[in-house]
Structure 1
């Protein structure tokens, strides 16, 4: 148990005892991104790659039929872990009162309700979208999220971007369509779910930026509100659909391999949610989406080696290169402050 008063770093500046150097300093001279922002972005990318692999293993390799149950387990595990860490004063739910013993007030929970509902839709759509599309094609289609994020940010916050940034986004979307032009495993339902996941992701990230900063809660506090609001709703939904009964009768339920996959899926989901809050708060919703594009190289490579799927023909290679060039150009613009 951590000593009293020692807290994990959240979206607000960490206590002096936890700082190693100046985290708020620019990444390098003239950079618009801080060292802490860069660390949050890299942490998100690492967690995202591994989580997609474990979720795909559960849904495809073990043919687990209930994506909603995986989401429920991830949410329940995160909520229990947050409660224990808050109880032991390892983390804080509030930015203003880090040592307050109580949990989040009911009025604050109501304030974060739009964020919690957006989170629920994001989790369900993202989990279901992994099932019907091979991993390389999934990551290719998910790159179009950046376009939806830009649109949603403009509608909600009237955020506008420079021409170089818009150009990098256009290059990414073009690359996604070129890469998928010859996908021989086309699945209308799977593709539709991926685009729905893109829309819900954009809404979720924009809501973090809008609701999260006005709530007075840390990243962990926002995660807690998501869990206590969405957990009961998802539990009722999985019970009505019969997913809980199907899970209890799943033939690999007591398999050690399946249990290890599920355990790592829950752990990674917790850290991924934290990294999403941290990266979106320290940087921006669009930067968070771009990080998802930059980590695609590793996801595509691992997915192709482990699960197989998309044949890498000439159009696919050209599309992937266009997407990565667009992501790299955006990263350059972000670092240089353009």
Structure 2
């Protein structure tokens, strides 16, 4: 249930911390001596990477393989499913929305105090921009180049962390990030499928992702809400906005008239997309609050190895090019160096 040690899913960062330098057994034990990441933090990172790879594949299948014209409708469906599932789980008291025992009656309108809902509004707006830009960015760029360009998010994340939280990083961390960005430029130097609009949308998605992750790190820890509570607030604030946007753009009408709407294959793709979006949102909060915004971005780079390989096989993309392979290799090397520094506490 939502309390004690019987929770079905980790609820909050506090459950994963508490071993500042020596104490905690079990899940809070460091991976290695002197580690800056706990076992719980590692599980959160790996869970995020698995969900992210699968979600990109299903979103790409819907938008490219089936040529579904309405990315915003998929975003809306993901929000509706996520919010509905959270409502049912909270109503049945399987989960809680707070780090402590709920202080709000179960029949309260929002399940969380209205003042906290207002406090999380900047986070929800950042989430809205992140969702819309990320979904649209998948459409115009092939999967290998999408992952290559998305790898530059770490630079924006470091910048946002510095301005919002005055977070500074050590030279090894900065060096690993520089290696990632250098590799991304090398990999994209001879992209024969260059699409200026697609590239621009990906970079907008990078900026919105950085803002979102930095906001999670800043607001998530002070709101008193756990990952489920933050997801709930996002759904309440963003759902009506996305519904209004899809309506005025005519996307709802296009979706109803979509020729494959009742195809079992397309419906299965949408179902898995909604399920994975829920799990991905949860693991993003979990990983970012437990570890850091920059670690979340770096996890996005590490999982790209699988995204590139699977995307290349399933959807095609760039023809084989040695320069692209070298650039991809440099990016993965930089991600590996960051992971090493993080685990060793450097």
Distance in 2 between residues matched to 1:11 and 1:51, nearest whole Å: 23
Deviation of the 1:96 alpha carbon? 2.2
Aligned to 2:269: 261
Deviation of the 1:14 alpha carbon? 4.4
The verdict on how the C-alpha distance between 1:277 and 1:183 changes in structure 2, with shifts beyond 3 A counting, is same
Aligned to 1:324: 332
Q: Any gaps of 5 or more consecutive residues in structure 2?
A: 17-24
Aligned to 1:239: 247
Aligned to 1:97: 101
Aligned to 2:20: none
Aligned to 1:18: none
Post-superposition CA distance 1:235-262 (Å, at most 9, x none): 0110000000000000000000000000
SS in 1 for 2:67: coil
Contact 2:33–2:344 (8 Å) recurs in 1: no
Aligned to 1:146: 154
Contact 1:31–1:336 (8 Å) recurs in 2: yes
Distance in 2 between residues matched to 1:106 and 1:35, nearest whole Å: 35
Deviation of the 1:31 alpha carbon? 1.4
Q: Any gaps of 5 or more consecutive residues in structure 1?
A: 16-20
Distance in 1 between residues matched to 2:102 and 2:39, nearest whole Å: 24
Deviation of the 1:4 alpha carbon? 8.2
The answer to whether 1:70 aligns with 2:74 is: yes
Distance in 2 between residues matched to 1:304 and 1:95, nearest whole Å: 42
Distance in 2 between residues matched to 1:45 and 1:194, nearest whole Å: 19
The verdict on how the C-alpha distance between 1:4 and 1:318 changes in structure 2, with shifts beyond 3 A counting, is closer
SS in 2 for 1:251: coil
Aligned to 2:41: 37
SS in 1 for 2:214: helix
2:53 to 34, 38, 49: 49
Distance in 2 between residues matched to 1:294 and 1:212, nearest whole Å: 24
The answer to whether 1:174 aligns with 2:182 is: yes
Contact 2:185–2:327 (8 Å) recurs in 1: yes
SS in 2 for 1:185: coil
Deviation of the 1:29 alpha carbon? 2.2
Post-superposition CA distance 1:78-131 (Å, at most 9, x none): 000001111111111011224852401111100000000000000000000000
Most deviating of 122-131 and 312-321: 312-321
Most deviating of 312-321 and 260-269: 312-321
Distance in 1 between residues matched to 2:200 and 2:64, nearest whole Å: 19
The RMSD of aligned alpha carbons is: 1.4
Deviation of the 1:170 alpha carbon? 0.3
The answer to whether 1:281 aligns with 2:282 is: no
Trace 1:213-224 onto structure 2 (pairs within 5 A).
Answer: 213-224=221-232
The verdict on how the C-alpha distance between 1:3 and 1:105 changes in structure 2, with shifts beyond 3 A counting, is closer
SS in 2 for 1:272: helix
Distance in 1 between residues matched to 2:3 and 2:177, nearest whole Å: 46
* Count of matched residue positions in the alignment of Structure 1 and Structure 2: 332
Contact 2:2–2:95 (8 Å) recurs in 1: no
SS in 1 for 2:260: coil
SS in 2 for 1:189: helix
Contact 1:11–1:278 (8 Å) recurs in 2: yes
Contact 1:125–1:193 (8 Å) recurs in 2: yes
Contact 1:4–1:89 (8 Å) recurs in 2: no
Contact 1:89–1:99 (8 Å) recurs in 2: no
SS in 1 for 2:27: coil
Distance in 2 between residues matched to 1:4 and 1:316, nearest whole Å: 49
1:187 to 195, 206, 218: 195
Post-superposition CA distance 1:39-70 (Å, at most 9, x none): 00000000000000000000000000000000
Contact 1:32–1:336 (8 Å) recurs in 2: yes
The answer to whether 1:131 aligns with 2:139 is: yes
Aligned to 1:10: 11
Contact 2:2–2:96 (8 Å) recurs in 1: no
